[in-house]
Structure 1
C-alpha cells in the first residue's frame, strides 16, 4: 500500500508541475489513460479533488497546492539522498542546475568554470540566466547565484566575488548637453535608466550613502530594463544616467565614453554568493562547482 501511494504522489507532482497530462505522461513513460487512472485512485484514497481539469489545462486545487507545497520538497530531498549514496566514491558526474543573472555569470562564473569543466566530461551544467529572486527549491535548481544580502535564511552560501563598487554613469555626450548632478536631489532633473529584474518585484531603487547618510532614491526615466547590460548600452547611447557595478562600466570609463557622477554618494554593495539548500546533502558535482567559484 505504501509503495502504491508513493508512486501515485510522484505521478501527481509530475502532472501538477507540468500542468498537462500529456507532458507528464511522456516524462513518466506511461500512457495518459494510465496516468489519469492513477490520479483518480489517489484522489479517491485521500477523499479530495487534487486537480482541476479542463479541455485545455490542468491546475492544482487548493488541496493539490498544499500537497505540492508540503510534500514535493520532501520527495526531492529523498531523491537527492539516494543520488548522493549512488555517487559516493564515484567520479564526478550528473547534471547540476544553477540560476544566475547574466552579469554574475559573465563576470564571475564562466571565467572560472570554463576551463575546469573540461576535466569532467561526465558533468553536465545547466545555467539559467535569470536576474529574478528565484525559489531554487520550488524550481528544482541545485544552486543559485545572487548578492549576499538577497539570500533566504534557510540557505547555505559561499561568496564568489568581492563586494561591488557601484557607480552612476552617463555618456560624455549626455553630460555635455545636460548639467552634471551635484547632489542626489539633482537626479530628479535627469533621465535615469531604471532596472527591474522581475515583474513581481518593484523597480530597483538607487541606494546612495555618504558620511552615514543613507538614501533610497526612486528615479524616473523613459527606459526600464531587466539587465544591467541593457542599461549600460542605453547609457553609452546617451539616454541618461545609469546605476551600475563599476567593474561592468570600467572599460568605457577608461576609454572616456562614460563618466561618473555623484562619486561620493556611491557605495559598495554585497558581492555575489552561490547558495543552496542547507537541508540537502551536497552532491560531489555541486561541491566541485562551489569550490571552483569560491572567492577567498
Structure 2
C-alpha cells in the first residue's frame, strides 16, 4: 500500500468517527474540499462506497463501518506506541482522554487531577462528561470511569473511591403538598425527577434494597435530565423527588433545604473505578493519571 493511501485511510477514519466532513476537516487542519476529494479518490481506488452522504449527515456504509472497526484499534496501537516514546523525555507528556459522569468528575477526579496539570505541564487532559456507558476502545478513549459493577471483565480496573449510595430527597416545599413516601413503590404516585442515560437513551430505574430484597422502580415525572447537578437543582427548586448521590446533597440535607426519604432502602454501590485496556498502562502520562486517582482508603 502506498504511503499516500495510508494517509487517505487516516482521513477516512476521521470522517467516519466524526460523522461530519466539517468537523473532520477541522480536526485534521485541512480544507473540507480537500478532504472530500481525498475520500472520493479512496472510494474510487477501492471500488467500494465507504460513506453515505446526505445534506445533513455522513455515516459509514456497511463496508465503511467494517473498515473503520479494522483501522481504529490499529491506529490506536500505533499512537500508543508513539506516545510511549515519551519515556525518553524528562517528563511524561501527551493527551489522556477519559469518559466519566459529572458526579465522578466533581467528587473524585477533578480535585485530584488539578495538581497533576501543575506538576506535569506537558500532559493534556480531555474529560468527556457522559452519564451513559461508552465503549472506550471503539470511541477512542484511553480510559473510562464507572461503578465497579459496570466495568467490563476484560479491562484493567483500579478503584478511585469508596462505596457510595444514591438517596431520595425532596424539598420541604414539595413535601408540604405531597405525602412522604414510606415505601419505594409509593414513588410511582409522585412527581419524580428522572435521569436519562445519554448513550442508551433509557431512563434509569431507581434501585432500592432492604433486608435482602432488591427492588427497581420506574418512576415518572415532568422532568428528566442527563446531569446529576441539574437533577439536584430541580429538587432544590421543589419540582419533585430526586434520587441522587448522597455526597452531593449532604450539605443541603444538613441545612434543611432537602429532606432525605426512604433512608433504609438506599443500598451502597461498589464505588468508582478507572478502567482501561492493558496496553494503556505502560504510557508514562497515563500512569501519572492513574496513580493520582488511585484510592488509598480502606
TM-score by length of 1: 0.89
- After TM superposition, give the deviation of residue 250 of structure 1 in Å: 0.1
Q: Aligned partners of 1:87 and 1:214: how far apart in 2?
A: 49
What's the C-alpha RMSD, in Å, of the aligned pairs? 2.4
Distance 1:256 1:216, change over 3 A: same
Distance 1:176 1:27, change over 3 A: closer
- After TM superposition, give the deviation of residue 40 of structure 1 in Å: 4.9
1:243 alignment partner in structure 2: 243
* Contact persistence 2:86–2:284 (CA under 8 A): no
- Number of aligned residues: 296
Q: Residue by residue, what CA displacement relative to the aligned partner does 1:99-145 show, whole Å, maximum 9, x if unpaired?
A: 22221111111111112321112222122222221222222222222
2:146 alignment partner in structure 1: 146
1:196 alignment partner in structure 2: 196
Name stretches of at least 5 consecutive residues in structure 2 with no aligned partner: none
Structure 2 counterparts to residues 251-290 of structure 1, below 5 A: 251-290=251-290
* Contact persistence 1:113–1:293 (CA under 8 A): yes
Distance 1:172 1:85, change over 3 A: same
* Contact persistence 1:21–1:32 (CA under 8 A): yes
1:161 alignment partner in structure 2: 161
- After TM superposition, give the deviation of residue 170 of structure 1 in Å: 1.3
Distance 1:190 1:58, change over 3 A: closer
1:232 alignment partner in structure 2: 232
- After TM superposition, give the deviation of residue 153 of structure 1 in Å: 2.9
1:102 alignment partner in structure 2: 102
Q: Aligned partners of 1:12 and 1:265: how far apart in 2?
A: 51
1:137 alignment partner in structure 2: 137
- After TM superposition, give the deviation of residue 67 of structure 1 in Å: 0.5
Structure 2 counterparts to residues 1-296 of structure 1, below 5 A: 1=1, 3-21=3-21, 24=24, 27-28=27-28, 35=35, 38-40=38-40, 42-53=42-53, 58-88=58-88, 90-198=90-198, 200-296=200-296
Q: Aligned partners of 2:96 and 2:231: how far apart in 1?
A: 30
Q: Residue by residue, what CA displacement relative to the aligned partner does 1:185-222 show, whole Å, maximum 9, x if unpaired?
A: 22222221111131633110111101111001111211
Q: Aligned partners of 2:151 and 2:257: how far apart in 1?
A: 35
Q: Residue by residue, what CA displacement relative to the aligned partner does 1:230-288 show, whole Å, maximum 9, x if unpaired?
A: 11112212222111111111001111121212111111112111122234453211111
